[in-house]
Structure 1
Amino acid sequence: MGAREAVVAYVDALNSRSVAGLIEVGGVKDEKWSRQEAGQILADRGGRGWKIKNVRVEQDMGPDTGSARLMAEDKNGKTMRDTFTVTREDGTWHLAVFTHQPAEPGKTPASTDKPSS
């Protein structure tokens, strides 16, 4: 699956309200946290009959990482514009749609907070 096809699969998952489809296109493990976040995404954007108007994919960060811009319109004419980071892992492209992925055991998550003085 190419990067453009990953964006199409994302829209298909939204339209069909598919938790499994979002997890697959997001390239994350099917776990409690990912099912919860997929449910939140679907509550916000799912089941609206999105039709893709434009997809632009640029491999601007290397051969296995880039960005995808999506413009879609729902059945009521509401426009959705979104930009995703796309990554290729083992030949399959995924969209970075999950933001609450827990840190791997034994790893400390990165932080941008400055230590207090």
Structure 2
Amino acid sequence: MKKYLLTGVAAGVVPLLVAGCSHDDAGAPAGTTSERGAVDAYISALNARDPDALAGLAPPGNEAAKEAAALVDAKGGRSLTIKSVDISHEFGPDFAAARVVSRGEDGKELRDDLTLSRNSGHWYVAIGENPKGRDKSPAETSKP
């Protein structure tokens, strides 16, 4: 009986792990559980030329499809290998800056400065724009 229970648990965990970094049907991305995981997923999406996977790394609510497609067009498909990642937390524990140095199969070096944010325990890459932020008017600059 224990053998079947363990198999059932393992079968239930694998789909959760596979779905861990993708959008669900409601469009809310799941993010990654570490800053480095977000960086690795970013490079993997570029290497795969997968704008959907890249957009899935954006914070919940961001419209990232257009920017993700542009990033894939500019940087995708180079078989990038990460050479170094420097992650710093200068604005608290839920925000990070990641300086990523990678090298393509052509030998050219690529440097990316990524902004990462944590929401509900998951890390996201700042890609796209949150449409809720567009409704605000700019600050008043003239005297009343």
Kept in 2, the 8 Å contact 1:10–1:22? The answer is: yes
Give how far 1:25 is off.
1.4
Map Cα deviations across residues 54-74 of structure 1 (whole Å, 9 max, x no partner). 011112210101211100001
In the TM superposition, structure 1's runs of 4+ consecutive aligned residues that sit over 6 Å from their partners are none
Aligned to 1:104: 132
In structure 2, what residue type is equivalent to 1:15? N
Map Cα deviations across residues 3-30 of structure 1 (whole Å, 9 max, x no partner). 0110000000000011121112122548
Kept in 2, the 8 Å contact 1:28–1:34? The answer is: no
After the TM superposition, which residues 18-97 of structure 1 pair with which residues of structure 2 at under 5 Å, given as runs?
18-29=50-61, 34-97=64-127
Q: In structure 1, what is the Cα distance between the partners aligned to 2:132 and 2:75?
A: 29
Q: In structure 2, what is the Cα distance between the partners aligned to 1:105 and 1:64?
A: 19
Map Cα deviations across residues 26-68 of structure 1 (whole Å, 9 max, x no partner). 22548xx522221111100011100000011112210101211
Structure with the higher helix share, 1 or 2:
2
Give the alignment's Cα RMSD to 1 decimal. Answer: 2.4
Q: Compared with structure 1, are the counterparts of its residues 59 and 40 closer, same or farther at alpha carbon in structure 2 (3 Å cutoff)?
A: same
If the length of structure 2 is used for normalisation, what is the TM-score?
A: 0.67
Kept in 2, the 8 Å contact 1:58–1:66? The answer is: yes
Q: In structure 2, what is the Cα distance between the partners aligned to 1:63 and 1:5?
A: 16
> Percent sequence identity over matched residues?
29
If the length of structure 1 is used for normalisation, what is the TM-score?
A: 0.81
Structure 1 residue ranges without an equivalent (≥5): none
> Size of the alignment, in residue pairs?
110
Structure 2 residue ranges without an equivalent (≥5): 1-32
Structure with the higher strand share, 1 or 2:
1
